[in-house]
Copies of this chain bind each other. A is one copy, B any other.
Amino acid sequence: MTKTMSKINQLLDTLNQHGFEPAQIKTDPDSLNHWGKDWTKHFDPNASVIIFPKSTEQVQTIVQACNDLSLIITPSGGRTGLSAGAVASNGEVVISLDKMNRIINYYPADRMVHLQAGVITKTLQDFAESHDLYYPVDFASAGSSQIGGNISTNAGGIKVIRYGMTRHWVLGLTVVTGKGDVLHLNNGMTKNATGYDLRQLFIGAEGTLGIVTEAQIRLERQPKNLSVMVLGVPEFAHIMQILSAFQAKMDLTAFEFFDDVAVSKLLATGHVQKPFETDAPFYALLEFEAPYEPMMDMAMAIFSECMEQGWIIDGVMSQSIAQAQELWKLREYISETISVFTPYKNDVSVLICHVPDFIADIEQIVSNNYPDFEICWFGHIGDGNLHLNILKPDDLSKDEFFEKCKTVNHHVFSTVKKYHGSISAEHGVGMTKKPYLNYTRTDEEIGYLKAIKQVFDPNGIMNKGKIFD
């Protein structure tokens, strides 16, 4: 029996003494594999045990025992992460929040839900809807991602331009720190000026400071009569001018962009219709509330002004909910569509004003060094978040392609650094981007991050090896 196995057995004894049921612990190979990884594929899962606590107290028991035994913990939510933040590849104890999926309380006057961290995003969205309210953080994996995971990566998605990131909706957190303390942070209040807001540290910490076990989440009024426009744009720079023109007069709920490469691949699948006859090199998708006729008129007036300026060459506006959904497919189906081209993906962020130059720089670098590579761009341009996708040429093997892409990384992140951007806009650092963290955070900053980790997790047992070493 290895040393780790012996410690795991001691852990299981402790849990047994504390009333954990057998069904809350899994050590079979299928389970270790299933709960030991997220949506990334670069690291092989190698968990020692999967534990399914049902309460904050049970999480605390596990964390305290792991401290005593020097066992490393990997917190695990919906495992939809894209940076290997929830991959257990070094014999970790995985704490899955799957059984902590209860909505604890609802506060109508505060428009607030108190829930366990394992509640699935879609469940919260549906709960909000059942009370005529709205939870606006939305993205492709909403059907399986968990709120605790969203909080730990400060998930963004498609409505950030209007509603902000997950951070904006977290009114309170219950956490178990790496030291094993239970903290109730901020208790659901909007206003609280009593010292450092520790809640904010746990948002986006990728489980390296402790485990989020419960949250108090604010809900919002449901949007009314969402209308969608898709616009054909002749030059990339005009995308920003269109954004400014609309934002000056309206509240946009989304402003997405994609290029003709994306559209041509989409049309080839036959699942999506061409939005209009004219071909355009770039496309913008706008969404806004238009419950009153004059708001539609306003949108049409801005559209006409942009046409006159030559910023738009063609466009379409939804006339029904069904048509709005159809137009959204143009953006939403891109990821799945290009996945057959084994893309090298990167999720980066720069100021909106730097986006045109940033894209031009990357295009230049790729065409100089890899003339046979095809680039597909899309992103949440309204908040400076670009998804860069380089498609694998047919004549290159997967291994050769990924080998070349490693050198592309350096170019991409150097360009991000040049524009003072971020190497990860919304996917997090995890293990995938750990080697590149110093492109956009200084050594001093990383020093402070490590010192803060030391405060909450002095034995370094919480998700060790994620974000930084």
| Interface residues, chain A, with chain B CB atoms under 8 Å away | 107-112, 132, 153-154, 156, 160, 164-165, 167-168, 177, 181, 183-185, 187-198, 200-201, 203-205, 209, 221, 240, 243-244, 247-251, 291-292, 294-295, 349-353, 380, 383-385, 420-429, 433, 437, 440-442, 444-446, 448-449, 451-452, 455-456, 467-468
Main secondary structure on A side of the interface with B: loop
Smallest CB–CB gap between A18 and chain B, Å? 21
Query: What residues of chain B lie closer than 8 Å to A156, measured between beta carbons?
Result: 191, 193
Establish whether residues B193 and A422, one from each chain, have CB atoms under 8 Å apart when the complex forms: yes
CB-nearest residue of chain B to A433? B194
Q: Do the beta carbons of A428 and B193 come within 8 Å of each other?
A: yes
Evaluate whether A424 and B193 lie within 8 angstroms (CB atoms) in the complex, with A109-B243, A221-B249, A244-B109 already known: yes
On whether the beta carbons of A352 and B428 are closer than 8 Å, the reply is: no
Contacts of A195 in B (CB 8 A): 204-205, 429, 437, 441, 445-446, 449, 467-468
B183 touches A444 (CB 8 A): yes
Whether the Cβ atoms of A188 and B248 lie closer than 8 Å is no
B189 touches A445 (CB 8 A): no
Residue of B nearest to A157 (CB): B191
Q: Which of A132, A156, A168, A448 has the most CB of B within 10 A?
A: A448
Give the distance to chain B from A372, nearest Cβ to Cβ, in Å: 31
Known contacts being A294-B292, A421-B187, A448-B183, is A110 close to B194, with CB within 8 Å?
A: no
A182 to chain B, nearest CB (A): 8
Known: A111-B247, A200-B197, A445-B183. A425 touches B221 (CB 8 A): no
Query: How many angstroms between the C-alpha atoms of A153 and B193 in the bound complex?
Result: 7
Residues of B within 8 A of A160 (CB): 190-191
In the complex, how many angstroms separate the beta carbon of A221 from the nearest chain B beta carbon?
Answer: 7
Whether B110 and A352, one on each chain, are in contact in the complex, defined by CB atoms closer than 8 angstroms, is yes
Q: Are A445 and B198 in contact (CB under 8 A)?
A: yes
B437 touches A194 (CB 8 A): yes
Known contacts A244-B109, A353-B107, A448-B183: A197-B192 contact under CB 8 Å: no
Residues of the B chain whose Cβ atoms lie less than 8 Å from the Cβ of A191? 156, 160, 165, 349, 380, 383-385, 422, 425-426
What's the Cα separation between A449 and B209 when bound, in Å? Answer: 14
Measured CB to CB, the closest approach of chain B to A296, in angstroms, equals 11
Shortest C-beta distance, A169 to chain B (Å), equals: 11
Q: Which of B112, B190, B196, B425 contacts A205 (CB 8 A)?
A: B196
Pairwise interchain contact B190-A420, C-beta atoms closer than 8 A: no
Nearest CB of chain B from residue A256's CB, rounded to whole Å = 14
Q: Which residues of B contact A204 (CB under 8 A)?
A: 193, 195-197
- Chain B residue numbers with a CB within 8 Å of A192 are 349, 422, 424-425
Scoring A187, A193, A420 by chain B CB atoms within 10 A of each residue's CB, the highest score goes to A193
In the bound assembly, the distance between CA atoms of A165 and B181 in angstroms comes to 29
Whole-angstrom CA separation of A198 from B197 in the bound complex: 11
Shortest Cβ distance from A27 into chain B, in angstroms? 32
CB proximity of A386 to chain B, nearest CB, Å: 10
Write the nearest CB–CB distance from A230 to chain B, whole angstroms. Answer: 21
Provide the bound-state CA to CA distance between A108 and B244, in Å: 8
Q: Which residues of B contact A294 (CB under 8 A)?
A: 291-292
Alpha-carbon distance A164/B167, docked complex (angstroms): 12
Are A383 and B468 interface neighbours, CB within 8 A?
no
A-B CB contact pairs (8 Å), 26 listed: A110-B384, A132-B248, A154-B197, A160-B190, A181-B444, A181-B448, A183-B442, A187-B351, A187-B420, A187-B422, A189-B349, A189-B351, A189-B421, A189-B425, A191-B385, A193-B429, A194-B423, A194-B424, A194-B437, A195-B437, A196-B201, A196-B204, A196-B449, A198-B452, A200-B201, A221-B250
